[in-house]
C-alpha cells in the first residue's frame, strides 16, 4: 500500500473555513465524527477497515508531535472509524454504511433538534421579557405605570428592569407588581 506524504494525508482532510452560527460552539470532536460519517457513507466493512487502519496510523504519527497529542478531532475520528467498523462487522455481509440507518446518528440528530428547539424557546422568552420591560419602562417614564395591569411572567420583567438599572431595586416597579 502506498502511503501519502505527509503521513495520514488520506484520512483527515482539512476543514474549509467556516464561521460558527451565533451561539454554536465549535466542537472539533463533533466535526471529526461528521467528517468520518460523510466519508464512510456507502463503504462496506473492508473499506471501513482500511480507513480505520489509516486513522490508527495517523494517531500513531500524531502522538509523536506535541502539538497534535491532544487533538480531540483526531481521537474522535479514530473512535468513529472503530465504531463504524464494529457496526458493519456485526451486520449482514455486503452491508454498506448509511448514516440515515445509523441509530447513533439518528439519536444525535434528535438530541440536537431538541436542544435547538430549547434554545429557540429561550430566545423567544428573552425577547418577550425585553419587549415587556421596554413597555413598562416607557409607561413608567410617562407616569402611567400604575394604570397597566400586571401579567403572568412580570416577575422576570422586574428582574430584567433591575438588571438594566445596575442592580438597583426600583420601588415603583415593585409596588406596581405587588
- Tell which wins on pLDDT, 178 or 36: 36
Cβ proximity of 89 and 47 under 8 Å: no
Scored b (16 or more CB within 10 A) or e, 40-69 reads: beebebeebbbbbebbeebbeebeeeeeee
The answer to whether the predicted template modeling score (pTM) of the entire model surpasses 0.75 is no
Domain residue ranges in the chain: 28-101, 117-177
More confident residue, 55 or 5: 55
Per DSSP, 5 falls in state S
CB 41 within 8 A of CB 98: yes
pLDDT at 1: 47
Q: What confidence tens digit (pLDDT) does each residue in 72-98 have?
A: 898 999 999 999 999 999 999 999 999
Amino acid at each position: 500500500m502506498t502511503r501519502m506524504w505527509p503521513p495520514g494525508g488520506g484520512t483527515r482532510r482539512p476543514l474549509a473555513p467556516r464561521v460558527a452560527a451565533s451561539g454554536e460552539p465549535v466542537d472539533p470532536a463533533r466535526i471529526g465524527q461528521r467528517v468520518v460519517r460523510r466519508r464512510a457513507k456507502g463503504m462496506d466493512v473492508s473499506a471501513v477497515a482500511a480507513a480505520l487502519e489509516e486513522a490508527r496510523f495517523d494517531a500513531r504519527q500524531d502522538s509523536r508531535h506535541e502539538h497534535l497529542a491532544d487533538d480531540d478531532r483526531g481521537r474522535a475520528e479514530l473512535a468513529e472509524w472503530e465504531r463504524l467498523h464494529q457496526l458493519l462487522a456485526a451486520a449482514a455481509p455486503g452491508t454498506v454504511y448509511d448514516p440515515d440507518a445509523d441509530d447513533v446518528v439518528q439519536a444525535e440528530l434528535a438530541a440536537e433538534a431538541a436542544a435547538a428547539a430549547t434554545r429557540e424557546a429561550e430566545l423567544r422568552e428573552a425577547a418577550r421579557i425585553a419587549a415587556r420591560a421596554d413597555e413598562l419602562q416607557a409607561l413608567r417614564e410617562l407616569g402611567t405605570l400604575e394604570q397597566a395591569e400586571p401579567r403572568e411572567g412580570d416577575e422576570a420583567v422586574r428582574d430584567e428592569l433591575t438588571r438594566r438599572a445596575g442592580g438597583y431595586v426600583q420601588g415603583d416597579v415593585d409596588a406596581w407588581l405587588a
